């Protein structure tokens, strides 16, 4: 990257912001995994579906809350990390991509929890591997280095991986297998 120090700062701030937002939805992952695994055993498939709907809605609401926080006042967040005007300006241009990845990440966690609760840990693991290492990483390399989008390109590759992961996990018909 032409300005590696700036790029590293931006990526680190975006990763930390996304990690903070994911910690909020991580509780939903544990809850939905437990509920989805317990409800079918109690012959309450409707309750398992209701738990999925509620968890997805709550994670999306938290994703939208982060979206509003970043969209309306990203300066507040970026000033927690730095006082450099160059970093603040570069982070402002990354905000739309960060918003997209936060929203996608909030749903993928819940969907991975559902897969785990259904006994499909292998589906979540393979989806993670393929989405990020086979799709996201090559696209990040293509966008960031070959096409010259630099830091934005690296993040766009991650978003493509998250989008693929969401699509696969959302479209998979979860039939509880009794495995855990």
Residues of the chain with pLDDT > 70: what percent? 96
pLDDT at 172 over 80: no
Whole-structure pTM value: 0.84
Q: How confident is the model at residue 66 (pLDDT cuts 50, 70, 90)?
A: confident
Say what the pLDDT of residue 167 is.
Answer: 93
Q: How confident is the model at residue 137 (pLDDT cuts 50, 70, 90)?
A: very high
pLDDT at 179 over 60: no
pLDDT at 21 over 90: no
- Alpha-carbon distance of 45 to 19, in angstroms, equals 32
Which of 11-15, 53-57, 103-107, 158-162 has the highest mean predicted lDDT (pLDDT)?
Answer: 158-162
Say what the pLDDT of residue 131 is.
Answer: 95
Summary mean pLDDT of the chain: 86
User: Nearest 5 degrees, angle CA 124-CA 98-CA 29?
Assistant: 30
Concatenate the DSSP letters of all residues of 65-80 into one string.
HHHHHHHHHHHHHHHH
- Alpha-carbon distance of 70 to 142, in angstroms, equals 27
29 neighbors 51 (Cβ within 8 angstroms): no
């Amino acid at each position: 990257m032409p300005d590696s120090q700036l790029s590293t700062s931006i990526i680190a701030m975006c990763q930390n912001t996304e990690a903070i937002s994911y910690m909020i939805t991580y509780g939903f992952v544990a809850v939905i995994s437990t509920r989805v695994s317990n409800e079918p055993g109690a012959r309450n498939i409707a309750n398992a579906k209701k738990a999925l709907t509620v968890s997805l809605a709550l994670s999306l609401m938290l994703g939208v809350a982060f979206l509003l926080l970043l969209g309306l006042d990203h300066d507040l967040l970026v000033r927690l990390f730095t006082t450099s005007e160059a970093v603040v300006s570069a982070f402002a241009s990354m905000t739309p991509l960060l918003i997209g990845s936060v929203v996608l990440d909030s749903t993928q966690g819940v969907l991975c929890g559902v897969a785990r609760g259904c006994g499909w840990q292998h589906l979540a693991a393979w989806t993670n591997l393929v989405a990020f290492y086979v799709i996201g990483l090559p696209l990040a390399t293509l966008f960031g280095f070959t096409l010259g989008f630099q830091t934005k390109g690296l993040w766009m590759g991650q978003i493509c991986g998250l989008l693929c992961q969401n699509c696969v996990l959302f479209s998979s018909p979860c039939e509880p297998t009794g495995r855990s």
